[in-house]
């Protein structure tokens, strides 16, 4: 494929001709720095965190050499996902890392890192998550204690305030991205800017209320369950049993034949996954949603991305915390046991491609949901396409291929953005700050 073709990417309806695919080929640019500074720093951190043997250390050295001076090499040896990666290659193997799409190059880097540490190889290092030490430190840190304790005061909030608080916790939890913190350095992230650059939260909650209203009250008393962020029961503890929610929501078909089912596509573990789980509990327990499907990664990815092991670790952490966190953790365990909370780890979750290229079974999963909530920056890039979109491109245009209603909760940590008002863009640009990539700004966008 010629360079010009890579920049244009596969043809796409509604994509402005100047929305070129983001590469990493401009020295000193944000994306170039991710490949040339963040990834080498991450290799060093991984080496330091785990006592690898000489073979693993050599493999990490080779990877460092490849990403800094070499071209993109193939996966070596017999590996379970060779066919998948062959099908995901778009002619980038053998090229310079900088010349592949940023999304592709970053994703493949994480796969090669797992190869270097022997994550998929039969032997002593099989299944040893190179990022586990960082995830553990975060999950058992004081910040999580504070967040879990704060749930105790939650029921004092009005239903509208609860909806708002849950959304914002899940949104800003996305700053807890350990890969991103590597670049931020010891001083941590800059202070967040509370006003969102786009805020469709009212649409999100009205879609959720529509689901609830289609069934009976989650309390099973016949009263409407939702009524917007400012109505309905809303209390995570004030609703009915799991069985009550299931029977009430199960009969109706709120969105043209769809059942009351929400997909939440998770991003980071720990400080982000915990508020996501609280939100899921709220949907199941207080909003009458029949079923939630939580999508996680099948293997370690982008440092802190959530896998099944992280879901289990979070539930244990909640139970151990007691109080309201413990109650929520207990309900979520029950929901998993009864099948109301399903966890999926689809291979495509670690694919180096936009969701537009998702396989049929995943498409069906999202198509059968009344709402899919995409968490985080990487999912956003994959949802709208990792391109230099004009920022005023409507979110609905960028996501029109998506098979059902979709919402995005994201802190901005990369260059892509759509769905902004022209005035917002002007004000952000005038600030002179790196608002697209600094993790200081957030957005909630949705289309029904």
Residues forming the site for ligand F6P (CB under 6 A): 34, 106, 174, 177, 179-180, 267-268, 302, 376-378, 381, 413-414
Q: How far is the CB of 369 from ligand F6P (least distance, A)?
A: 21
Residue burial 281-290, b: 16+ Cβ < 10 Å; e: rest:
bbbbbbbbbb
Q: How far is the CB of 226 from ligand F6P (least distance, A)?
A: 28
**Residue 281 to residue 285: CA distance in whole angstroms:** 6
Please check whether residue 296 is in contact with residue 253, taking contact to mean a CB–CB distance below 8 angstroms: no
Q: Please, which residues have CB within 8 angstroms of residue 291's CB and are 6 or more apart in sequence?
A: 259, 260, 261, 262, 339, 340, 341, 342
Q: How far is the CB of 303 from ligand F6P (least distance, A)?
A: 8
- Comparison of 239 and 442: residue with beta carbon closer to ligand F6P: 442
Please check whether residue 23 is in contact with residue 100, taking contact to mean a CB–CB distance below 8 angstroms: yes
Tokens of 59: 């493999």
Backbone φ and ψ of 78, nearest 5°: -85, 115
| DSSP 8-state symbol, 254 | T
- Comparison of 249 and 378: residue with beta carbon closer to ligand F6P: 378
User: Integer distance in angstroms from the first to the last C-alpha of the chain?
Assistant: 36
**Residue 43 to residue 90: CA distance in whole angstroms:** 25
Q: How far is the CB of 234 from ligand F6P (least distance, A)?
A: 28
Beta bridge partners of 447: 406
Q: How far is the CB of 102 from ligand F6P (least distance, A)?
A: 7
Q: How far is the CB of 413 from ligand F6P (least distance, A)?
A: 4
- Comparison of 362 and 383: residue with beta carbon closer to ligand F6P: 383
Please check whether residue 262 is in contact with residue 370, taking contact to mean a CB–CB distance below 8 angstroms: yes
**Residue 100 to residue 88: CA distance in whole angstroms:** 13
Please check whether residue 411 is in contact with residue 267, taking contact to mean a CB–CB distance below 8 angstroms: no
Q: Which residue in 373, 21, 9, 417 sits closest to 173, CA to CA?
A: 373
- Comparison of 212 and 414: residue with beta carbon closer to ligand F6P: 414
- Comparison of 271 and 414: residue with beta carbon closer to ligand F6P: 414
- Comparison of 307 and 378: residue with beta carbon closer to ligand F6P: 378
Q: How far is the CB of 43 from ligand F6P (least distance, A)?
A: 15
**Residue 65 to residue 18: CA distance in whole angstroms:** 34
- Comparison of 273 and 335: residue with beta carbon closer to ligand F6P: 273
Q: Please, which residues have CB within 8 angstroms of residue 321's CB and are 6 or more apart in sequence?
A: 145, 148, 149, 329
Q: How far is the CB of 19 from ligand F6P (least distance, A)?
A: 17
- Comparison of 218 and 376: residue with beta carbon closer to ligand F6P: 376
- Comparison of 13 and 191: residue with beta carbon closer to ligand F6P: 191
Q: How far is the CB of 159 from ligand F6P (least distance, A)?
A: 29
């Amino acid at each position: 494929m010629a360079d010009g073709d890579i920049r244009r990417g596969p043809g796409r309806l509604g994509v402005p001709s100047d929305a070129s695919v983001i590469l990493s080929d401009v020295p000193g640019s944000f994306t170039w720095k991710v490949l040339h500074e963040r990834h080498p720093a991450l290799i060093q951190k991984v080496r330091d965190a785990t006592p690898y043997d000489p073979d693993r250390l050599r493999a990490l050295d080779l990877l460092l050499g490849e990403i800094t001076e070499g071209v993109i090499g193939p996966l070596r040896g017999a590996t379970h996902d060779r066919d998948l990666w062959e099908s995901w290659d778009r002619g980038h193997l053998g090229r310079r890392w900088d010349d592949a799409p940023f999304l592709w190059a970053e994703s493949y880097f994480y796969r090669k890192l797992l190869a270097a540490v022997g994550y998929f190889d039969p032997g002593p290092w099989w299944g040893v998550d190179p990022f586990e030490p960082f995830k553990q430190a975060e999950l058992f840190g004081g910040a999580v204690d504070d967040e879990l304790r704060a749930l105790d005061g939650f029921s004092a909030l009005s239903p509208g305030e609860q909806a708002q608080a849950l959304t914002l916790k899940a949104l800003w939890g996305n700053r807890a991205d350990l890969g991103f913190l590597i670049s931020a350095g010891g001083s941590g992230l800059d202070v967040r800017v509370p006003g969102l650059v786009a805020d469709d939260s009212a649409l999100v909650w009205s879609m959720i209320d529509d689901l609830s209203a289609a069934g009976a009250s989650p309390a099973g008393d016949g009263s409407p369950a939702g009524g917007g962020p400012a109505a309905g029961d809303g209390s995570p503890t004030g609703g009915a049993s799991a069985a009550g929610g299931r029977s009430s929501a199960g009969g109706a078909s709120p969105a043209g034949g769809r059942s009351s089912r929400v997909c939440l596509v998770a991003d980071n573990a720990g400080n982000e996954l915990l508020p996501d789980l609280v939100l899921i509990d709220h949907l199941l327990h207080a909003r009458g949603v029949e079923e939630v499907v939580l999508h996680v990664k099948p293997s370690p990815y982008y440092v802190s991305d959530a896998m099944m092991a992280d879901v289990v670790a979070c539930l244990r952490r909640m139970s151990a915390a007691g109080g309201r966190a413990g109650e929520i953790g207990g309900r979520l365990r029950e929901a998993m046991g009864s099948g109301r909370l399903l966890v999926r780890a689809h291979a495509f979750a670690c694919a180096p491609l936009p969701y537009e290229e998702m396989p049929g079974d995943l498409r069906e999963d999202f198509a059968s949901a009344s709402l899919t909530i995409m968490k985080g920056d990487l999912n956003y890039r994959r949802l709208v396409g990792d391109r230099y979109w004009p920022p005023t491109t409507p979110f609905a245009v960028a996501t029109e291929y998506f098979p059902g209603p979709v919402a995005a909760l994201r802190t901005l940590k990369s260059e892509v953005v759509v769905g902004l008002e022209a005035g917002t863009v002007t004000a952000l640009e005038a600030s002179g700050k790196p608002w697209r990539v600094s993790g200081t700004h957030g957005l909630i966008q949705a289309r029904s």
